[in-house]
Amino acid sequence: MSNIDERKKQANNLLAILSDELDISGAKYQEAKERYNRLGDWLSRPESKVRSFSPEIYVQGSFLLGTVIKPSSEDGEYDIDSVCKVELTTAQCTQEQLKHLIGKEVKLYAKAQCMKKPVDEGKRCWTLNYADESRFHMDVLPAIPNAEVFREFLKQGGVTSGWTDDAIAITDNTHPKYKIQDHDWPVSNPKGYAAWFREQMKVASTRNFSGSALLTEKYASVEAVPTPELKTPLQRVIQLMKRHRDIRFDDSEDKPISIIITTLAAHAYNNEADVVEALVNVVDNMLDHIRDRNGEKWVANPVNPLENFADKWVTHPRRKKNFYAWHEDLRKHIHAMIAEETGLHNFSESLEKIAGKQTSNVVMTKYGNAMRAAREDGSLKASKGAAMLGATIGAAVKRHSFYGK
Burial of 109 (0-12, 13-18, 19+ CB in 10 A): buried
Q: Examine residue 36 and state whether it is found in any structural domain, yes or no.
A: yes
- Are residues 17 and 30 located together in one domain of the fold? no
Return the pLDDT at 401: 32
**Half-sphere exposure in the Cβ direction for 300 (13 Å, CA):** 15
Q: Examine residue 213 and state whether it is found in any structural domain, yes or no.
A: no
- Are residues 133 and 236 located together in one domain of the fold? no
- Are residues 104 and 238 located together in one domain of the fold? no
Return the pLDDT at 4: 63
- Are residues 236 and 156 located together in one domain of the fold? no
Return the pLDDT at 402: 27
Range of the structural domain that residue 186 is part of: 26-190
pTM: 0.90
- Domain of residue 73, CATH code: 3.30.460.10
- Other Cβ atoms less than 10 A from the Cβ of 258: the count is 19
Q: Examine residue 48 and state whether it is found in any structural domain, yes or no.
A: yes
Distance CA 221, CA 313 (A): 41
Q: Examine residue 196 and state whether it is found in any structural domain, yes or no.
A: no
- Are residues 282 and 344 located together in one domain of the fold? yes
Q: Which of 190, 216, 247 is the last residue of a domain?
A: 190
Q: Which of 175, 190, 205 is the last residue of a domain?
A: 190
- Are residues 338 and 390 located together in one domain of the fold? yes
Ordered mean pLDDT values, 10 residues apiece, the chain (405 residues)? 69 89 88 91 97 96 93 82 96 97 97 94 96 85 95 90 94 97 94 96 94 91 85 96 94 95 98 94 98 95 96 96 97 85 77 91 90 74 41 33 30
- Are residues 14 and 41 located together in one domain of the fold? no
Return the pLDDT at 228: 78
Q: Examine residue 50 and state whether it is found in any structural domain, yes or no.
A: yes
Q: Examine residue 186 and state whether it is found in any structural domain, yes or no.
A: yes
- Are residues 389 and 401 located together in one domain of the fold? yes
Q: Examine residue 222 and state whether it is found in any structural domain, yes or no.
A: no
Chain CA centroid to CA 282, Å: 15
- Are residues 2 and 75 located together in one domain of the fold? no
Q: Which of 190, 212, 243 is the last residue of a domain?
A: 190
Query: CA–CA distance from 211 to each of 214, 273, 287, 319 (Å)?
Result: 9, 12, 32, 41
Q: Would you list the DSSP string of 165-232? A: TT-EEE--TTSTTTTS--S---EE-HHHHHHHHHHHTHHHHHHHHHT-HHHHHH-SSGGGS-GGG---
Closest residue by Cα to residue 172 from 198, 201, 208, 142: 142
Residue 56, helix vs strand vs coil: strand
The tally of domains found in the chain comes to 2
- Are residues 63 and 3 located together in one domain of the fold? no
At a CB cut-off of 8 Å and minimum separation 6, what does 27 contact? none
Q: Examine residue 211 and state whether it is found in any structural domain, yes or no.
A: no
- Are residues 287 and 173 located together in one domain of the fold? no
- Are residues 132 and 263 located together in one domain of the fold? no
Query: CA–CA distance from 38 to each of 57, 69, 363 (Å)?
Result: 9, 23, 35
Return the pLDDT at 72: 77
Torsion of CA 373, 378, 379, 382, to 10 degrees: 100
Return the pLDDT at 150: 92
